Amino acid sequence: MRQQNSQNNGGSRRYSREEAEYLRRRRAAEEMAAERKKEQKKIRRRENLKITGGRLLVFLIIFLIIAAIAATVIFIAFCSTPDAPKTSGDITYYYGGKEVRRQKAEGHVTLDGAYFCFNDLSEYLGMAESGNAAEMKFIIRREPAKTSEGQGDEEYIVFLTDAKRVIVNGQEIKLEIPNLLEGDEVWVAIDFIRDYMSGLSVSYDRNRAVLKVARVADEELSTKDSIVYMPVTFRLSRTDPLDQADRTGVDTSGFKVDIDSLEIPAVWFSEDLSSYEKYMNPQGEMRDAFLVLVNSGHRISADSVPGDLVTVTYGNMSGTVQLREFAMMSLEALFTELRGAGFFGMMVDSGYRDYAYQSNIFESYVQKEMSASPSLTRAAAEAVVSRYSARPGTSEHQTGLALDMDNTGALTVDFADTDEYRWLEQNAWKFGFILRYPEGKEDITGIQFEPWHYRFVGRYHAYKIHESGMCLEEYLADLKS
């Protein structure tokens, strides 16, 4: 290029050889210098880059160190406030700003809170208490009481022994977090207050393991000199107005049935069964009138027929079923409550059976056994049959106080695995019935476990038999001693 230009610019002038040589060298030298310059520039740029990179690296390392320190600090901070509930050490309880108790945290924390003692709350709020360990009742009474009995505008809660249910103003509630029953104290999860009570605030500081319950102030009515609190109530309203309660003889407030409370606990139903009370819980002379014992050693005479047999007029029955009046009425109450609890499939299969009926049944079984095994003597066949069917005069179905019921009509031990059976296990006594042939008592009753066979004795004795774990034979022997 240059040469061309020189030549063009040079016009007609021609260079001498030396001149040309000099020029060529100079150009070459210039080009080399330029090249070197370029190279140096490149190197400088590269070095600059190296320096910047090195600085960046230093900055990065410093940043990482600072970040690591910060992370450690945060980590340590978080370790002292773990997400999992504190399950060791003590929980301190405050009610209305006052420390009330300390309790081992272990077993008293829930996933997102803690348990607190409802008895403490009751004391804090001045609730009235009644019932017993089986069914603890706490009452919030309003002033003034509407009646002389002090049962005016009140609200109540009953804690049942199964810990999973409570009755609030007559309504039964199944709890998501079961209560804790410790001695005569009930412990409930703080969610319970949030869900079912108003006028209270409850908080649990998991880090410090402090649970606080306090009344909520009514900001409109409170002044700086005096605090007016919101009324504490249970969120569920009562199902039956107290004014409609029948107060003649039986206290039905919340369907409570007040019976000899020193002897047996108060009984609660979700249905209004007050009209059945005199049958379920016979009083006076009638209390012991149903303790008759019929078994292989205590025969009932062939001509014994109860004078007060009535037909059972409810339930899904196969054929006509008869029972004595007290047993029938009590069974009707039991079925009413059963349906209230959501069990609709229960049926009564058999009640009163007269001597002739039992005799025929027994005889037909004997014939069946003898034709199945022709070598059997009649006595041997009777012995075989008596293991599963009562000999005439030894069946308590003849008393009119016994019945068979289940949810299929099959009358098998499978019934013992049903929710209906478990309900009966817990509740039958309240209606005056006992499971007559319990498991493990075969040696005494002489009859295999029959989860379907119930016997009316009245609530007083039914409760005692239920609580003691005795069968009727043992209980009667114990009464006499």
**CB 358, CB 390: distance < 8 Å:** yes
Q: Considering the complex, what minimum distance in angstroms separates the CB of residue 349 from Zn ion?
A: 8
Piece of the chain touching Zn ion by CB under 5 A; list 51-59, 309-317, 366-374, 449-457 = 449-457
CB nearer Zn ion, residue 151 or residue 350: 350
Out of 453, 455, 459, 466, the only residue in the binding site for Zn ion (CB under 5 A) is 453
- The stretch near Zn ion (CB under 5 A) out of 21-29, 301-309, 353-361, 398-406 is 398-406
Distances in Å between the Cα of 361 and the Cα atoms of 309, 357, 368, 395 are 21, 6, 11, 11
- Partners of residue 257 on adjacent β-strands: 267
Enter the tokens of residue 424.
Answer: 């009966």
Select from 11-19, 61-69, 422-430, 447-455 the region that touches Zn ion (CB under 5 A). 447-455
Question: Is the sign of the CA dihedral 167, 183, 164, 334 positive or negative?
Answer: negative
- Tell the smallest beta-carbon distance from residue 348 to Zn ion (Å): 11
> Taking the complex as a whole, how short is the minimal distance between the CB of residue 464 and Zn ion, in angstroms?
22
CA pair distance 240, 238, nearest whole angstrom: 6
Provide the CB-side half-sphere exposure for 469 (13 A, CA): 2
Strand order in the sheet with 109-110: 109-110, 113-117, 185-189, 180-182
Q: Token pair of 5, please? A: 């230009």
Q: Based on CB atoms, which residue is closest to Zn ion, 161 or 296?
A: 296
User: Closer to Zn ion at the Cβ: 190 or 402?
Assistant: 402
Minimum CB separation of residue 345 from Zn ion in Å reads 19
The answer to whether 479 and 451 have CB atoms below 8 angstroms apart is no
# residues near Zn ion by CB under 5 A:
2
Q: Which of 450, 467, 473, 474 is catalytic?
A: 450
CB 417 within 8 A of CB 401: no
Site for Zn ion in 85-104 (CB under 5 A): none
Binding mask 132-171 for Zn ion (x = CB under 5 A): ----------------------------------------
86 versus 324: smaller Cβ distance to Zn ion: 324
Write the DSSP assignment of 381-439 as a string of letters.
Answer: HHHHHTTTSPPTT--GGGGT-EEEEESSS---GGGGGSHHHHHHHHHGGGGTEEESS-T
Q: How far is CA 341 from CA 235, 299, 336, 418, in A?
A: 21, 38, 9, 14
CB of 182 to Zn ion, least distance (A): 40
Stretch that binds Zn ion, among 26-34, 212-220, 401-409, 440-448 (CB under 5 A): 401-409
Residue of 154, 277, 404, 420 that binds Zn ion (CB under 5 A): 404
Q: Known catalytic residue: 450? A: yes
For 123-151, give one letter per residue: b (16+ CB within 10 A) or e.
ebbebeeebeeebbbbbbbeeeeeeeeeb
In the complex, the smallest distance separating the C-beta of residue 394 from Zn ion, rounded to whole angstroms, is 12
Amino acid present at 40:
Q
Q: Note whether 349 binds Zn ion by CB under 5 A.
A: no
Residue 129 CA: distances (Å) to CA of 155, 266, 378: 12, 13, 64
CB of 323 to Zn ion, least distance (A): 12
- Measured from the CB atom, the residue of 281 and 395 that comes closer to Zn ion is 395
The Cα–Cα gap between 222 and 64 comes to 56
Judged by CB under 5 A, which stretch of 193-201, 215-223, 267-275, 400-408 contacts Zn ion?
400-408
Least CB distance from residue 451 to Zn ion, whole Å?
11
DSSP E strands: which ranges in 142-207?
Answer: 154-160, 165-168, 171-174, 180-182, 185-189, 197-198, 200-205
Residue (210 or 293) nearer to Zn ion, CB: 293
Q: Which of 306, 290, 329 is nearest to 472 (CA)?
A: 290
Give me the residue whose beta carbon is nearest to Zn ion: 453
First to last CA, the chain: 138
Token pair recorded at residue 115 = 């348990």
Q: Residue 318 has which token pair?
A: 């196969």
Q: How far is the CB of 433 from Zn ion (least distance, A)?
A: 12
Q: Considering beta carbons, is residue 366 or 403 the nearer one to Zn ion?
A: 403
- Binding segment for Zn ion among 177-185, 230-238, 351-359, 399-407 (CB under 5 A)? 399-407
Q: Which stretch binds Zn ion (CB under 5 A): 52-60, 133-141, 277-285, 396-404?
A: 396-404
- Residues numbered 38-77 forming contacts with Zn ion, rule: CB under 5 A: none
Looking at the Cβ atoms of 430 and 453, the one nearer to Zn ion is 453
Q: Which is nearer to Zn ion, 254 or 393 (by Cβ)?
A: 393
Cα–Cα distance measured from residue 467 to residue 481, given in angstroms and rounded to the nearest whole number: 18
Residues lying near Zn ion in the complex (CB under 5 A): 404, 453
Catalytic site positions: 450
